[in-house]
Amino acid sequence: MSTFVIKEKEGSLFSNAEKKKTDKHPDYTGSCVINGEKLYISAWVNQSESGKKYMRMKFDEPKVAENTNATPAPSFSKSDSEIPF
C-alpha cells in the first residue's frame, strides 16, 4: 500500500460535521503544501449579504511540540536577603 503525499500547491478538505459543536468550529478541515511547507486548513461555509454561499478559510502552521529536553533555567546561589531590591 502506498503512502499519500500532498503535492506542492495542492491540498484536501474533509467534512468536520462529526466534531463540530459550535459555529466557531470549522465546517471543513484539511491540509495543503505551499512553498514546501505543510499548512493546516480550517474552512467555514458562509453566506454573503446578497445570498451567495462562499467558504472562508484559515491557514495555520503545524504546532511544534514542546521540547521536554530543554535546558532548565539557571538557579541563583544568592539568598533573597542578598538581593538589593
Question: Could you give the CA distance from residue 61 to residue 53 in angstroms, rounded to a whole number?
Answer: 27
Question: Could you give the CA distance from residue 76 to residue 85 in angstroms, rounded to a whole number?
Answer: 15
User: What's the average model confidence in pLDDT over 48-65?
Assistant: 93
Is the pTM higher than 0.75? no
Residue 82 has pLDDT above 80, yes or no: no
Q: What is the pLDDT of residue 85?
A: 56
Domain segments of the chain: what residues?
1-62
- Who contacts 85 (Cβ-Cβ below 8 Å, separation ≥6)? none
CB 67 within 8 A of CB 49: no
Task: Place 40 in a pLDDT band, splitting at 50, 70 and 90.
Answer: very high
